[in-house]
Amino acid sequence: MKKLNGVRLKHHKSTAKCQTAALPVPDLVTIPMLMNMGAPCNPLVKVGDTVKVGQKIGDTDAFMSVPVHSSVSGIVKSVTDIKLAGGNICKAVTIEPDGEQTVSEEVQPPVINSKEEFVKAVRESGITGLGGAGFPTHIKLNPKGEIDTLVINAAECEPYITSDHRQMLEDPDAVIGGIKTVMKYLSIPNAIIGIENNKPDAISLLSEKTGSDTSITVKTLPASYPQGAEKVLIYNTAGRIVKEGQLPSDQKVIVLNVSTAAQIYYYCQTGMPLIERRLTVDGDIVKNPCNLTVKIGTPVSKVLEYAQCDTEKMNKLILGGPMMGMSAFDLETSIVKGNNAVLAFEKYSEPVVTNCIRCGRCIKACPFNLMPTEMEKAYNRKDVEALKKLKVNLCMNCGCCTYACPAGRKLAETNQLAKALIPRK
Amino acid sequence: MNILTVSPSPHVKDNMSTQRIMLCVIASLLPAVIASGVIFGLRALMLIAVCILSSIIFEAVTRIIMKKEQTIGDLSAVLTGLLLALNLPVTLPFWQAAIGCFTAIVIVKQLFGGLGQNFANPAIVGRIVLMLSFTSNMTTWAVPQYWKENGKEIVTSATPLVTETASYKDLFLGNTGGCLGETCALALLIGGIYLIVRKIISPVTPVAFIGTVALLNLIAGNDVLYQILSGGLILGAFFMATDYVTTPVTPAGKLIFGIGCGIITFLIRQFGSYPEGVSFSILLMNIVTPYIDRFTMTKPIGAVKEAKEK
């Protein structure tokens, strides 16, 4: 089987040995109503309401949606529009915690007897993919056809981030419990846990824990970016190609992030919805790089403060990994369900953009053999037919082309703009 | 607090830049530069200096006149000047060399929009223009280390491609008449291998180019090794036919390009009235590069052919 292209990155996984600490409950949380790919929720609370931990505070009837729960107990201070890091504007509920962290009566372990009840329970848990993209997990777990393989994404190929790694080391039983739960209710016979070879301790721990169970295998993958991209991972674990326009389920595969699987397990055991998450704090001006569990809605500034980051000197703040994460422009941005890292840098400079020299490095870097340089030229002349022929829609914005370009061209960005030119069917 | 930079992902970049690529290629040509100094003396090094300096000046002045940002920092002008110099005989008058640089930098490169926009290899066109303009000067070859024989007088000889009398050892070490940089195969191979190891160039083009020349000469019953080692084949195959801008981007395209260069070189050497065909072959293949690119587009993984609309 042909090896897919990619780039070799410096790992910077210095937090891999950092035991996860809990960030104290902040004095104010702002919980956005849109933390998933799809539709935003409508707030279910109003100013002055008292809310408890795990209480549902936002929901909607839209198909692509996930309810939102309060991460603290306290009083609702405001329900206003905020701007998210990605630029979207949505409603957000600001809550002043009372410090009691009283758990809501709504939090009860779900009663599940069928696949339908399981999918419904996963939706109620507020779980979205914890790897970053925020795809609603219950939709993923409700495929049309039969599934024969559950692929668990534990590649964690982005530099710096070790939150999935810590999940595996600190609570491997929850990971395996989550996998078994999904396999049971969706009648999936096999599961493959894909882990990059730069996490040997996690590989040996999970191999040991799944040793007697032949339905779950741990697959060691080379540490090469973008190993954890969904289609790349399916290719490298199950050996299948998800074709243009297909979903993984069309190839009888479902991919779940390893922390998402653990979260499903926690919810099934306790009924506590997704109200906090593990994330990595790192970067060249972070004095105390660490892994933290943070309540959803906590401002980034509190996370940086805990990690002793000198925000005065900061030039670049990234939510997520350096390859696919988002630049933040506001320290009061809330931590959302998909934030697996907060990275702060003093040393940062935008590359100078010069002419394309046709070196072909972008083509050699693209996991799907696309031709970013040709797509850029086609985009510049607004040639929709050429863009279609070049299959720009297959671009997953992994960023390998931009990373590799010696002329500093923003190829991945151009691909996204080019995709928008193509009319949707 | 500083202003935070907001930009689309990715937020990191590897450390390869256009300038570093050019620097690597320049470094890879240093063995050939040293060899030219040893073989053809001080004037060879002066000719190289004249070409590099005039290329930089032509580029800088053109950019100023065209009111565009300065680009001499990318070192591509240095490389073009160096490559052109290595394609010239040591006896060429400096002013003629400067005309070659003018052609290369101003006409071929800058008038088409600068680095990355030119369709033909600037150094190759510079050489061809000099070849056609000053044919006798461009085909006068100094005897290696001529000063040893007759004091300061430059002694000339025919290219070994014509005489066919040089030994393999002389050809390999560059102890024959020829252009500054083309005679010493050893120095060129060191540089070429360095570029392949550093992954600056793909081995596909030089292997296809030299391999095709070897194969065709074998069929024609010529002395294969002599044909490979003499003339500008190794210089052209490793350093000119691998120019990013003017050659195909995909490995399949590079293979076609190399084979095409090999065939044309053989045909000119075998049947043409010029003794050497490397420059012409590369220029002709430069011209068809956009077509090669079109026919050798990569096949995206997972792509589905669009159903024909009814």
Report the pLDDT averaged over residues B251-271: 96
Whole-model pTM: value is 0.92
| Side chain identity at residue A150, one-letter code | L
3-state secondary structure of B135: helix
- Give A311-351 pLDDT, tens digit per residue: 899 999 999 999 999 999 999 999 999 999 999 999 998 88
| B310 in contact with chain A, both atoms CB, cutoff 8 A | no
Q: What is the pLDDT of residues A40-94, one digit of tens each?
A: 999 999 999 999 999 999 999 999 999 999 999 999 999 999 999 888 899 999 9
Alpha carbon A155 to its chain centroid, in Å, reads 12
What angle, rounded to 10 degrees, do the helices at B122-133 and B278-295 form? 140
Cα angle A231, A368, A202; round to 5: 45
How many angstroms separate the CA atoms of B71 and B63, rounded? 8
Distance, CA of A247 to CA of A263 (rounded, Å): 23
Peptide bond into B10 cis (omega under 30): yes
| Chain A interface includes B70 (CB < 8 A) | no
Quote the Cα angle for A152-A155-A158, to 5°: 135
**Which chain A residue is nearest to residue B10, measuring alpha carbons?**
A323
Q: What integer pLDDT is reported at residue A304 of this predicted model?
A: 95
**What is the Cα gyration radius of chain B?**
21
Q: Do B18 and A231 touch (CB under 8 A)?
A: no
pLDDT > 90? residue B250: yes
Tell me the chain B residues in contact with residue A284 when contact means C-beta distances shorter than 8 Å: none
Cα distance between residue A134 and residue A66, in whole Å: 10
Which residue, among B252, B265, B30, B272, has the nearest Cα to B124 in the 3D structure?
Answer: B265
Task: Tell me the mean pLDDT in the region A150-179.
Answer: 96
Q: What's the rounded Cα separation, in Å, for the pair B100 and B87?
A: 11
Residues 99-118 of B with CB under 8 A from A: 113-117
Q: Which of residues 119-158 of B touch A (CB under 8 A)?
A: none
pLDDT in tens, A320-329: 999 999 999 9
Region B123-135 average pLDDT: 94
Which of B11, B20, B116 has its CB closest to that of A355? B116
pLDDT at residue A134 in the model: 87
Rounded distance, CA A54 to CA B6, Å? 34
CB proximity B306 to A under 8 Å: yes
Q: Is B302 touching A (CB cutoff 8 A)?
A: yes
pLDDT value at B310 more than 60 = no
pLDDT digit string, tens, across residues B21-46: 999 999 999 999 999 999 998 999 99
Q: Is residue B302 scored above 50 in pLDDT?
A: yes
From the list A312, A361, A399, the residue facing B10 with the nearest CB is A399
Minimum distance, in Å, between the CA of residue B251 and any CA atom of chain A: 10
* Band of pLDDT at residue B155, cut at 50, 70 and 90: low
SS3 state at A243: coil
Nearest chain B residue to A371, by CA: B298
Which residues in chain B touch residue A410, judged by CB atoms under 8 angstroms apart? 8
Q: How close A350 comes to chain B (CA, Å)?
A: 8
CB-CB neighbors (< 8 A) of B304 in chain A: 243-245
pLDDT at B304: 85
Pairwise CA distance, residues A372 & A291, whole Å:
36
At B183 the pLDDT is: 87
The one-character DSSP state at A27 is: S
DSSP string over B223-263? -HHHHHHSTTHHHIIIIITT-STTS-SSHHHHHHHHHHHHH
| Cα separation, A159 vs A13, whole angstroms | 7
Instruction: For B275-294, write each residue's pLDDT tens digit.
Output: 788 999 999 999 999 999 99
Query: Which is it for strands A290-295 and A21-22: parallel, antiparallel or unpaired?
Result: parallel
- Taking the Cβ of residue B305 and every Cβ of chain A, the question of whether any pair is shorter than 8 Å is answered with no
Q: Which residue has the tokens 């050809």?
A: B171
Distance (Å, whole) CA A122 – CA A267: 8
Going from the C-alpha of B167 to that of each of A304, B5, B139, B145, B226, the distances in angstroms are 72, 63, 21, 17, 8
CB contact under 8 A, A370 and B300: yes
User: Residue range B156-166: average pLDDT?
Assistant: 69
Residues of chain B neighbouring A416 (CB-CB closer than 8 A): 8
What's residue B167's pLDDT? 82
Q: What does each C-alpha distance from B177 to A68, B78, B154 come to in angstroms? A: 81, 25, 12
> How does the average pLDDT of chain A come out, rounded?
94
Tell me: the pLDDT tens digits for B10-27?
A: 999 999 999 999 999 999
Strand extents, DSSP E, A155-284: 190-196, 216-221, 253-257, 276-282
**What 3-state DSSP class applies to A154?**
strand
Q: Which residues of B touch A224 (CB under 8 A)?
A: none
Q: Cβ neighbours of residue A403 under 8 Å, at least 6 residues apart?
A: A7, A9, A323, A365, B10, B12, B13, B14
Does A371 sit within 8 Å of B249, measured CB to CB? yes
Average pLDDT, chain B: 91
The nearest alpha carbon in chain B to A362 belongs to: B249
Q: What percent of chain A has pLDDT over 90?
A: 92
Average pLDDT rounded to a whole number, residues A393-404: 95
Phi, psi of B137 (to 5 degrees): -60, -35
Shortest CA distance from B70: residue in chain A: A354
Q: How far is CA A238 from CA A131, A255, B75, in A?
A: 20, 11, 47
DSSP secondary structure letters along A361-386: HHHHH-TT---HHHHHHHHHTT-HHH
A-chain CB neighbours of B18 within 8 Å are: 354, 357, 406-407
A-to-B residue pairs, Cβ atoms closer than 8 angstroms: 146
Contacts of B7 in chain A (CB under 8 A): 327, 350
As a whole number of Å, the end-to-end CA separation of chain A is 33
